[in-house]
Structure formats: C-alpha cells, structure tokens
Structure 1
C-alpha cells in the first residue's frame, strides 16, 4: 500500500481498507489538532490513485469496506471521486460500503447534485467533525465555520441520502464554556439529526496550539467528572429521531454505547450512577487514554 505519514480513520472503519487519495487536511487550522500538521495538503494524481487501488486489490481483493483518507478527502473534485468510486466497485466484487471524511467547508462547496451523484455511485457514509455547536468555541479553535454553516453542511449531506456520522469533542470549550458548549452542541446535532454520533473527550497534544492557552492559564481542561457532567447535559438535551451513539473512543473516561432516543433514560441513569459514586475505579485510567 502507498501511504504518506501517519494515517487516521474513524473507529468504525477499523476493518476497512484505507485508501489515501489525499494527503493531509485542506483546512488544517484547528487549534486542538496535530494530526496533519506535518503534511502539506495535496490531492493525489489519477495515476497515483490507480496504483493505490491496484495495490489494495493485492492486499485484500475481498474487501467489503473501503475508507478514503486523509482528513477531508471529499475536497477531491467530484468528477474524480466518481471515477474512483466506479473503479472501486468494478474492482472489488464484495464491496458494500465506502466512507470518507468531509470537512464542513468542503461539503458546503459541493452542490446538492454533486453529493447526490456521489451517493448514486456508491459513496455510503460521510464523517463530519462538528466538534462543537457553540459559536465562541468554534471560533476559538479555528474550525472555519459557525454553527449555522455546520448545520447547513450536515443537512446537505443528509438531504443527498448519504449516511452521516458526526463527531463532537467533550471539553472543547474548557471549564468556562462547558455549559454553553454542551447545550449548543446538543442543539446543532439535534437540528442535523445524524444517523451516527460519536463523542470524544478532549486530549491536547503538547504540540497543539491549544496547549499554549492551557500553559498560560487561558484554557482550563475539565476534570473527568466535569467532562462526564458535560456529556450528560448534552445527551439530556439531544433530540434525534434515530441515532447510534458511541463514546467508546480511547480518549473517553467512560465507554458508552446506545441508540437514541430509545436508550437515553438508561444512558443518563448510568452517568448519574457514576457521577454520584465519584469513584475513579469506574473510569478509564489516564494512562490508558489515547488520541
């Protein structure tokens, strides 16, 4: 396989064949993220991509799932993405699903017709990093869009028929904005109404720009209990029609799985029990947490 640098993928793509059709992240400005800071964004050439697909066939010709990397591969020109999708389904006889990261600005740059065409040619799932629904938080972490634009991007994906998986980051507003972050994020996710929702808990790499704000005392990280309280507030105020929820990423203090809204009462009961007990034995140890 042809990979440049470290690869990142959603947890649900663990068993997928990863095809790196772009390198890095076009936006690459978020202050909490260091994943692509060592890469210069570029879209690979048709020749490179054909070679990647050929290598993937040798690696796993029976692949049922494929994920297109890097950070926001949906930035690739739609005509090339359609070629890639057609090639994949022609080459992999067992292929059932193709996923892709989609940055909000790059989703907004696509027309409804383009997104519908991607769906028609076999793109299955788009992963959107919402991170927060609070305008101040989104601006402070340099996400590049405001809540209204984030909602528009999510609704645009949903309208095309593509499956949408959103990610939010618990603790991204720090202690000062924890309540606003929780409530506004619940509002944005409720409005988008994605099929999947993943909650990560903020961990800050020493090389991330946000680490300087922490060092200077301008940003206060949440304690495990504050993070769980923020998560509970968000979940309590979330109104979705049918959403598979996961907070079992390595960054989370308490792994949780549920289908919302059906399991909401049980989910809140679990969080209340853990918060009331205030026992660190219930939580993932700090040294087990990871990005």
Structure 2
C-alpha cells in the first residue's frame, strides 16, 4: 500500500510502577533518518528500535521519543558532581568569552543547569531491565503499527490526488493534440513563407546549409515527440502508483521529465492556444511535484 512520509502516532503503557509513552513523528526526507530520544539507562533498546523501524519504514525523517514516569523513574536520578562541574566550567568559559567581546549574558538559574544533559546521573531501576526492555519494545511495535497505519491513510489520499492530476495532464495532452491539428493550416502557411525566404537565398547559399535550415524549421514547429513523451510519462506514473514498495524518488525524477517536455512544448508552440495549454500543463505538473515530495 502506498505510504506518505508524514504521520504521527503515540502509544502508552506501564510495567510495574513505571509508566511510559512512545511518540513517533514523521516528515518527508530523501532517505530514512531516525532521530531517537531514549533514556540512556535502558541498555540495548536503541538498536532494537532502529531495527524494528528500519523493517517498516523506507523513507522519511522520523523522530522517535520515549518518556518514562513513575516511582521507578523518579528515584532513578541523582546529582552527578563530576558532570555538574564540567557543565559549570563550560558556562564559566562561555560567560568569560562573551565578556571579552562586550556581550552581557543573563545569569543561569539552578533549574536551567539541572535540566542540562550530564548534570543528573541515572541510577538503577527497581524493575528488571530485561523485562522492561521487552515491554518497551512491544509498546514501540504498537506505536509503529499506528504510525504506519496513519502513513498509509495519508498515502491513499496522496494516491487519489496524484491519479486525478495525471488524469488532468492526460486531458491537457489531448487538448494540445487538438490545438496542433487546428493550427495545421496556419503552420503550413508559415512554413511556406519561411521556406520561400530560404529558397530566395539558395542561389548563393551552401546547399548543405539550406537543407539544415529547412530541417531546423520543421523541427522547431513539430511538438509530436513532446506530446508522445508526455503520454508515455503519464503511463509510467500510473504504473509506479500501482506498484508495490517505495516509489517517491522515481516519481520525483519522472516529474522532472514531465516539466522538461512541458517547457519544450511551450517554446515550440507557435500558437497562443497551444501556449496556454502548455502553461496550464506546467501548473498542474508543479502541483503534482509538490505532492510527490511526500510519497515514500
């Protein structure tokens, strides 16, 4: 099932007198980037979380956080004298450096310093760490299930939007083909005039150069290849949306090809009606590309 890269999920539970809550938040990204905020004192939890997430997610910037509370957690921290000394030394150096530059800093409060990493040391849980880790991992799997489910719902909505945009592009391609047919007589007259100008100078011109100029005139006014390639890109996009697994990067590359053909169509149109269709086509392609950025 198609997935979006955006989503949110949380799952809470308890183990003994310890309460916990998992939260997952995701936004789009080029690859899979997991940012974990886990308590340091639970050994072996991080690699298990990364492994579980890596099996279910392929792309996106995903922030995973675990919050613990309860008697076991509340009694698990104490002041780390060594860590506090390092933090205070760092604050003193920062304040001294700021003073040398004429900068005045507000004094730090005890509450602010206590909240800094390394000031409080972790003690031991009153519960078995192996069983706790197992319970937390089970909770994470449940949160991950909810997260993937939300991404799938978002992905289904994206699929519908992208399919509708592809249908609109198909309609514009048909309109462009009709506009090309409507301008055929006008185009033929223009080519005859251009050909006459070339032939007027043919007596003194290099025959090879004359042939090149005639070929160039024909190529500059023909948009058949552009329309054919646009139709092929529409088919390719439909196939990608119908396929299994992550397709976001392939769709993003395909959107670049869509845009290239639309630009060429506009530059070669030679008629206001065809130019207008080309501009509308570029607008729809741009809107579609924005949606594609969220596809896993």
Q: TM-score, normalised by structure 1?
A: 0.20
Larger Rg: 2
Larger proportion of helix: 2
Bigger relative CO (Cα 8 Å, ≥ 6 apart): 2
Q: TM-score, normalised by structure 2?
A: 0.20
